[in-house]
Structure 1
């Protein structure tokens, strides 16, 4: 059993939406997402959002709007890359900058953390770069990640492939956790 310090959760296609950009005021989580967040909270596991949102750099939304959205879901923190993939920043997934920043800020051992996301080329590769556990969900871009794009991230084998965020959390809690105190 693993003492999980934090679960990093991607937004688009994992928490809700279609995998495409949806402004925070219009974004709707999947019906099962709130239950998944609640289960993690009940087990005292820190939840941290991490998401690429290049539309921020285009002024189509603000980091604050995303932060407020994640606060309404009860996340402990959120790391948001506002850059495009061409900006060559360290935070845009698949680069692990957001995970490394979160580890510094929250004193985390990333090998005791989990990444849940729907995109192999970003979420799974970022997790792989820091040695975190990887769970791919089959919502959003999940199915195409496993088929037409699988070759591009073949070195990052998911630890589990879940139908959705709730199944990912249930598998994690049933197979890899010890109860922790507090939140």
Structure 2
């Protein structure tokens, strides 16, 4: 049974393969219907996102929390750190997933991660989650790197369980047999 779904922000629910600050961020047309499908079957929907602009002072964490909550996410997990700061929360680390599992008493093997970057797939793999890569955002580019054997070691072992065209395709795949 699917206990929760973790969804990346930039490139997965909207924006592009670049970080877009909350005041300029636009969701894809399929984002709201996707979240509504999960809520219809009472599956908690969590955002998990790296947002280094917070530690650089470009934006406040609360701006992301307010934005993502307004989209319908049940809980927001975000890493405010920059790459190389050595935190345990920045993807591909599993800190956000582990924290959510503790907060909500989840078995991560019964949870799914949907994202557009290979770092999302690695975090999901390390935590034992179902891995779904969307082709939006960086997804197509990262999939090409994988298919061309440009990932090595653990990065190569994080193959998605499903490759989706977009978030709606990913959610429909996850919900097969749930409804």
Q: Provide the TM-score with structure 1 as the length reference.
A: 0.92
- Which range moved further: 166-175 or 31-40? 166-175
Secondary structure of residue in 2 paired with 1:151: coil
Aligned partner of 1:134 among 120, 131, 135: 131
Shift in Å, 1:148: 2.5
In structure 1, distance between residues paired with 2:160 and 2:42: 24
In structure 2, distance between residues paired with 1:133 and 1:160: 9
Residue 7 of structure 2 corresponds to 9
Q: Which blocks of at least 5 consecutive residues in structure 2 are unaligned?
A: none
Aligned-pair Cα RMSD in Å? 1.0
In structure 1, distance between residues paired with 2:10 and 2:19: 7
What do the CA deviations read for 1:150-181 (whole angstroms, capped 9, x no partner)?
Answer: 52421011110000000000111115x3x5xx
* Matched residues, number: 174
Residue 117 of structure 1 corresponds to 115
Give 1:151-162 correspondences, 5 Å limit: 151-152=151-152, 153-162=155-164
Q: Runs of at least 4 residues of structure 1 off by over 3 A?
A: none
In structure 2, distance between residues paired with 1:110 and 1:22: 29
Shift in Å, 1:19: 1.7
In structure 2, distance between residues paired with 1:39 and 1:116: 15
Shift in Å, 1:74: 1.1
